[in-house]
Amino acid sequence: MKRLIFLIAVIVTVQCAHAQELQAKVTVNAQRVYNTVDKKIFNTLQSQLNNLLNNRKWTGDAYQANEKIECNFLLNIDKVVETNVYQASLTIQAARPVYNSTYQTALINYMDNDVTFRYVEFQPVEFNENRVQGTDPLASNLTAVLAYYVNMILGLDYDSFSPKGGDVYFQKALNIVNNAPENRSITGWKAFDGLRNRYWLAENMMNTRYNVVHDVMYTYYRQGLDNMYDNETDARRAILNALRQLKNFNDQNQNTMIMQFFMQGKSLELIRIFKKAPQVEKQEAATILSAIDVSNAGKYKEELK
């Protein structure tokens, strides 16, 4: 009996040591094109993408089951470009647990509108970081986009636990950008494709001029949110200090993608944090937030008055 228990313990330990990093859910929504394409194709694609994200090892670290990063990928098929070629948008959401609580704070909440890819049912859905382009750039583009955002999620998660801890994954994301599939139908990987795309996000994350943003991430999550249970006053002050740093950064570097990316989806969380703050802190937070998150300025002024 003891031997059996020992064997079970060994098996569980080995499984945990090799556990993948993500608890990902991929949803493929093709309602707009169901009349022209067999629905079953997208069910197959959804299953293959879930297998890719959840069964692949993305880091060299061992993750326990409760350490997996919860994330959602919603692939909305917008139209059929040609036979087996689709134009889509991808919404990426990932969360991180806050220490000593059941609360999950957002790491990323972003929509990428430039995902064009080729898919034939049951074709291999794979990603090779040494051959990002593959033999068919259009077929490789979808997995390249997904791998790019997986590395962004990993980078943000590691950054939130240690200063600049995510650099290796931001570099991997930049490597995907530099070796991205090329085709006249593919966009989002080049500087000239726009001001808000995969190129600019990876560039901003690896630009040494913007290092302060990585410090902000660590302060916000680790020194701020993770300490809310033990010392709410000090935790809130840490978050306010992070906002001051962001304000200074934004004043010196107008219109960066990294700024918009960090603030996206955080307004309600920030309002909850500062709603119970002393009036002086509350007013300072409202002023800073209205300046760095202009689209939600009215909300901050109303809720934090």
Residue 121 located in a structural domain: yes
Say which residue the tokens 């197959």 belong to. 44
Kindly tell me if the per-residue pLDDT of 39 is higher than 60: yes
Kindly tell me if the per-residue pLDDT of 187 is higher than 80: yes
Least confident piece of the model among 4-8, 117-121, 203-207, 211-215: 4-8
Give 175-201 as a DSSP string.
Answer: HHHHT----TT--SSSGGG-SSSHHHH
Boundary of a domain, candidates 152, 178, 206: 206
Instruction: Let me know whether 115 and 141 are in one domain.
Output: yes
Kindly tell me if the per-residue pLDDT of 201 is higher than 80: yes
Instruction: Let me know whether 202 and 218 are in one domain.
Output: no
- What's the mean pLDDT when you consider all of the chain? 92
The reported pLDDT for the residue numbered 271 is 97
Instruction: Let me know whether 221 and 159 are in one domain.
Output: no
Residue 10 located in a structural domain: no
Instruction: Let me know whether 223 and 293 are in one domain.
Output: yes
Our count of domains for the chain comes to 2
Boundary of a domain, candidates 182, 206, 230: 206
The reported pLDDT for the residue numbered 34 is 82
The reported pLDDT for the residue numbered 7 is 36
Boundary of a domain, candidates 155, 178, 206: 206
Residue 6 located in a structural domain: no
Label residue 83 by pLDDT band (50, 70, 90). Answer: very high
Residue 152 located in a structural domain: yes
Q: Which residues in 67-86 are b (16+ Cβ under 10 Å) and which e?
A: eebbbebbbbbbeeeeebbb
Instruction: Let me know whether 297 and 259 are in one domain.
Output: yes
Residue 238 located in a structural domain: yes
Instruction: Let me know whether 202 and 238 are in one domain.
Output: no
CB-CB contact of 50 with 86 (8 Å): no
Q: What average pLDDT does the segment 203-218 reach?
A: 97
Which domain range does residue 296 map to?
A: 211-303
Q: Positive or negative, the Cα torsion across 107, 112, 118, 119?
A: positive
Residue 46 located in a structural domain: yes
Cα-trace Rg, the chain: 21
For residue 217, the Cα-to-chain-centroid distance in whole angstroms is: 13
Residue 4 located in a structural domain: no
Label residue 19 by pLDDT band (50, 70, 90). Answer: low
272 Cβ contact partners less than 8 Å away, ≥ 6 residues apart? none
Instruction: Let me know whether 139 and 286 are in one domain.
Output: no
Residue 166 located in a structural domain: yes
The reported pLDDT for the residue numbered 205 is 97
Q: Which residue has the higher pLDDT, 294 or 18?
A: 294
The reported pLDDT for the residue numbered 124 is 93
Instruction: Let me know whether 257 and 149 are in one domain.
Output: no
Q: Which residue has the higher pLDDT, 177 or 6?
A: 177
